[in-house]
Chains A and B, each alone.
Chain A
Amino acid sequence: MNKIAILEERKKQIYYKGEESFDMRCERGSLAGSVSQRACVFCGSRVVLYPIADALHLVHGPIGCAAYTWDIRGALSSGPELHRLSFSTDLQEKNIIFGGEKKLYKALCELIDKHQPRAAFVYATCIVGIIGDDMDSVCRRVSEEKRIPVLSVHSEGFKGTKKDGYRAACDALARLVGTGPRTNNIGQCSINILGDFNIAGETWMIKEYYRRMGVEVISTITGDGRIADIQRAHNAKLNVVQCSGSMMPLAKTMKERYGIPFIRVSYFGIEDTAEALYEVARFFKNKKILRQTDELVKSEVRRIIPDLDQYKRKLKEKKAAIYVGGAFKAFSLIKALDYLEMKTVVVGSQTGNKDDYKRLKEMCPNGTIIVDDANPLELSRFILEKDADIFIGGVKERYLAYKLGIGYCDHNHQRKLALAGFDGMLNFAREVYSSVMSPVWQFCPRRKKV
């Protein structure tokens, strides 16, 4: 096999399990000149806030940032669809010279008058940070005039990584939480669901589990989210945080400000989903809830096991490569693949931290390649080196996997199948199975059996 060049600087970001251990270098900007799979601060904020369906989302900048994020995420709404439109101030050269504040003000007023949203989010793009538009004061002014929350999101692309975008989004959300009334008619066993984005209806599935358990859901942030719910989220007794990479800042703020404790969970895979639900049940120390949770988990598991076992038999010993945004997702994926008795041969993340990589090292068998912020050249090399059967990742890796003649499973925003919860596990197994076992691979030159 041809050796690819790996720069000295990157060597500490790639680890072969079993070799002498070192602290993974991570949480740093990509090297200039890399074909990075990462995005920017704006992207982070946009994906987190986007699912709030009754809010106006206005991108303040040249047209590109709005055009490329127009309805690209399958975050479903049970009501309004305002979030799926693309609004931009479409800044032109003269705005860059003279400033875009007036244009922003006009655009906001026009849009709010027309659509009567419950709140508005205004996203800063790179250029806004450079020309120095005072977005905060425009938002304040419009908020006072139109009497709805108008929140500026400081998501200038260059100000860090996608993670900083999550933080900017959480900051905007934190300004919203608590602006609704303190209500007394909220039960003792009430939660907010944080960090699920209702891709393919996943929030709905999870909400249904909590309903069956007897736990009241005050707000879902942000999947199928509504402004009024977020405003009264401070009434809940517990924050249940998934995708902790994006939502931890908000959970922490809510703990400081309102004393709401939080737990970190994952709804991916049987083990993690069950553990998440049990943990919530245990928190409330309520016998009825514990009993109902137990019943729920048992009946769900019983229901899906026979089908899962069928896939398991076929998928046993197949090899998977994982490259995802947050490392937390990777943990769950490894466990789910373990359940299917598949092997994780490559695992990487865009935004993992030191502890995440430590945990990955513990979880993975010897020989697994662990990588931070990989580029496509490295990914292809690792896939070929480990002879993976399937790649699990995001949009930019899909066709890379197909070109190499291996299966693919979308574990990102664009996925069409719900992967959360018990049914999600079944969907996951089915999708992995259909791709790994597809008859097309027999026609692929590299994998053709001689």
Chain B
Amino acid sequence: MLLRHTPEEIKERKALTVNPAKMCQPIGAMYAALGIHGCMPHSHGSQGCCAYHRSTLTRHYKEPIMAATSSFTEGSSVFGGQANLVQAINNMFTIYNPDIIAVHTTCLSETIGDDVNQICQKARDDGKVPEGKHVIHCNTPSYVGSHITGYSNMLKGIIKYFSKSTGIKKDQMNIISGWVEPSDMKEIKKIAKEMGIKIVLFPDTSDILDAPQTGVHAFYPKGGTTIPELISTGDSKFSLALGEFATDAPAKDLNSKCKVKFKTIDLPIGLSATDRFIVALSNAADVDVPECITEERGRLVDIITDMQQYFYNKRVALFGDPDQLIPLTELLVDLDMKPVYILSGTSGKVFVRRIKEILAESVPNAKVKNGANADLFLLHQWIKNDPVDLIIGNTYGKYIARDEDIPFLRMGFPILDRVGHSYFPTVGYAGAMRVLEKILNLLMDRQDRDSSEESFELVM
């Protein structure tokens, strides 16, 4: 029992997080920057930050992750990191030749008060940024928010730097993607294409973090939103922002900078959220929903119909990032399951409100918590006190799943011990079908394992 140290009795903790259900801002900024074509993320802080983020992303994607660091020393911590960053910018363009350097800060550089905006400007003024190349930045103090905040802040940085309005609108719309996998971003592009809508998706980590084996290591793989596309986001007719926590603020920024109207909706995870996504797309672009998408939806509903008895009343604990958890909870309710514990390390009042709304009728007594002390230690205590049939969350859930012998579906970030998330989406109707398949396999395998010989069934 790895988690034998978890007591059943729940006491209020004030100063302590045990087994966190979040990470820090900079890793989110790094992930978002990786979704820009030809972009080198840069961590303005100690070497360790960058090394940890790269290692974590490497373990999750099983891909080499490229990012550079300002390599702070004791001296830079006293005198400021300007010299390091200017030198770093110069070195990066010389050695690695990216089109864009996307700088994010760390708790260290934030606390010593580095003005990264001014430093980047100095690098430009000093001629360290070659013609046609770009340095963008965002502030990501690790002691505020979580990795989701950092992701959102990098998107804001991208908009601030690139989006331009020429005054002439283009026949295209923006989709600002929340934190999802490369497979999901590919699926979003596929759906838009099927609907005949021209979109700019950003960020877009597909064809970057799911790169094929070619025998060469492409420092800048072919995917990612391009600079012309990013600039053109200011001329798009409309923005659809997917996931309030990660994308609402960037969408607002784009609207106030370039007057691009927007709508923030949930990530299209599950049936109802995908319905809203498709309707929003169709309304914004004024197109009809094509037959192939309606049929795909039909197939999803068909699976739910066929297998409803296996979903019914199953108790589920889920943890992870708010933008995923909100539509996922809704999906579980649509399936007639009982999401009883929902927990996120990322703070924000909207989370509890939304989840409570979704569960108002079906599971009014569900435990919902986010922010401070919403960690896996607490989730484990809840489960110990009243068990569940299924746990959904990132890899770190495996300890609880093992100790309590509960089926476990890996979803979210990071997934350090399985593959598939890079290649098979969980968004859209097709993604929902995959989620359903996974849930069913887990529940039915469990039933097969636990049933007595006489009730062991061949046909299910």
Contacts and interface: CB of A to CB of B under 8 A. Distances in A.
Contacts of A67: 20, 22-24
Contacts of B111: 96, 127, 130-131
Contacts of B16: 87-90, 106-107, 110-111
B143 interface: yes
B68 interface: yes
B18 A86 contact: yes
Interface in B78-103: 83-85, 87-92, 94-97
Contacts of A89: 15-17
Contacts of B216: 403-404, 446
Interface stretch (B43-51, B244-252, B309-317): B43-51
B64 A40 contact: no
Contact of B91 (A7, A86, A376, A404): A7
A63 B18 contact: no
A64 interface: yes
12 contacts: A41-B46, A43-B51, A66-B20, A68-B23, A86-B20, A88-B20, A89-B16, A92-B372, A96-B107, A126-B45, A396-B65, A403-B214
Given A33-B70, A127-B108, 18 more contacts: A5-B95, A6-B95, A29-B73, A30-B71, A31-B71, A33-B87, A34-B71, A39-B51, A40-B47, A70-B20, A90-B372, A93-B141, A96-B143, A126-B45, A126-B72, A158-B46, A158-B74, A403-B63
B55 A396 contact: yes
Interface size class of A (residues with CB under 8 A): 35 or more
Contacts of B48: 39-43, 65, 157
A69 B16 CA distance: 17
Interface string A92-129: 11011000001111110011001100000000011101
A4 interface: yes
B24 A36 contact: no
A17 interface: no
Nearest to B13: A110
Contacts of A158: 45-46, 72-74, 76-77, 108
A397 B55 CA distance: 10
Interface string A1-14: 00011110000000
B14 interface: yes
Nearest to B52: A68
A400 to B, nearest CB: 4
Contacts of A4: 95
Interface string B20-32: 1011101100000
Interface of B: 2-5, 7, 13-20, 22-24, 26-27, 42, 45-56, 58-59, 62-74, 76-77, 83-85, 87-92, 94-97, 106-108, 111-112, 141-144, 146, 211, 213-217, 219, 345, 372, 396
Contacts of A31: 71, 87-88, 91
A8 to B, nearest CB: 10
A397 B396 CA distance: 24
A99 to B, nearest CB: 12
A82 interface: yes
Contacts of B42: 33
A402 interface: yes
A396 B141 contact: no
A102 B27 CA distance: 28
Contacts of A126: 45-46, 72, 77, 106-108
A402 B46 CA distance: 28
Among B71, B90, B396, find the residue whose CB has the most chain A CB atoms closer than 10 A: B71
Contacts of A40: 46-49, 51
Contacts of B50: 36
Given A403-B216, A404-B216, A405-B215, A85 B91 contact: no
Given A33-B90, A62-B24, A81-B4, A90 B47 contact: no
Contacts of B56: 68
Contact of A62 (B65, B83, B91, B143): B143
A182 interface: no
Contacts of B85: 32
Contacts of B77: 126, 129-130, 158
A63 B87 contact: no
A447 interface: yes
A386 interface: no
Nearest to B93: A33
Contacts of B14: 103, 106, 110
